Homo-oligomer: A and B are copies of this chain.
């Protein structure tokens, strides 16, 4: 199972050679790749893990590619899907798109084109879904800044962004310092860092963005 959802990619491809090639290719580009060899296992992955993009071959054993797309979509999974196909006829293409795929690539394809299309899918998808509600304002996760209200946008550093992201995604939950350290600060030994970054966020966004729960930890200010 892939851990990093932002760059996790599901590849459903029965041809071992092609699967290995694409796996290497995308791994080299910084993606975390899960490979499924047939439609059944592909469906299982698609429904149990979260991916940024799925690449599905049309000619699959167990479940045909287009059926797989249809099944995944019928379960409410909105992840962008790119279909690989050997046949490039219009009917073929329309069928894939009608089933709910965002894009299709005809084999044999240029490696660069495939990469470009995957990037395009990621871009389009993340562009619209990377905002977290902050009451009056919102956090633009990809641009790493807080926008909204009358004031000018407030730029955040990488750590500040990660920390605020976590709080904003779980507005009611109380996080202990230990949890925050594990989730946001990779180094296990940075006891004071959590406090410091809470302080930074408060200084930039106002004392109330994050509330202290004495003896327990922190939680989101609003709600």
Interface residues, chain A, with chain B CB atoms under 8 Å away: 64, 67, 87, 89-94, 97, 113, 116, 119, 127, 142-144, 155, 157-158, 172-174, 179, 213-216, 219
On chain B, the residues within 8 Å of A172 by CB distance are 143
Check B91–A91 contact: CB distance below 8 A. no
Copies of this chain, how many? 2
Alpha-carbon gap, A174 to B172, bound state (A): 30
- Residue in chain B with minimal CB distance to A62: B110
Give every chain B residue within 8 A of A143 (Cβ-Cβ): 172-174, 213, 219
Q: Contact check, A91 vs B92: say whether CB atoms are below 8 A apart.
A: no
Instruction: Give the distance in Å from the alpha carbon of A116 to the alpha carbon of B39 in the complex.
Output: 14
CB distance from A178 to the nearest CB of B (A): 9
Are B144 and A213 in contact (CB-based, < 8 A)? yes
Closest Cβ of chain B to A105, distance in Å, is 10
Q: Find the B residue at minimum CB distance from A64.
A: B113
Give bound CA distance, A128 to B4, whole Å: 42
How far apart are the CA atoms of A216 and B67 in the complex, in Å? 39
Set B90, B97, B144: member contacting A87, Cβ < 8 A: B90
> How many Å lie between the Cα of A158 and that of B174 in the bound state?
14
Q: Cα distance A8–B18 when bound, in Å?
A: 44
Closest to A159 in B: B215
Chain B residue numbers with a CB within 8 Å of A179 are: 119
Give Cα A28–Cα B142 distance, bound, in whole angstroms.
Answer: 37
CB–CB B92/A90 < 8 A? yes
Q: How far does the Cβ of A60 sit from chain B's closest Cβ, in whole Å?
A: 12
Give bound CA distance, A137 to B214, whole Å. 22
* Bound CA–CA A216/B155 (angstroms): 13
Chain B residues with CB below 8 A from A219, complex form? 143
Q: Kindly identify which residue among B113, B119, B158, B215 contacts A214, using a CB–CB cutoff of 8 Å.
A: B158
A216 to B, closest residue via Cβ: B144
A89 contacts which chain B residues (CB < 8 A)?
A: 90, 94
CB contact under 8 A between A91 and B97, given known A157-B214, A219-B143: yes
- Which residue in chain B gives the minimum CB-CB distance to A144? B213
Q: Given contacts A144-B174, A155-B213, could you give 12 more A-B pairs where the C-beta distance is less than 8 Å?
A: A67-B113, A67-B116, A87-B90, A89-B94, A90-B92, A91-B97, A142-B174, A143-B172, A143-B173, A143-B213, A143-B219, A158-B214
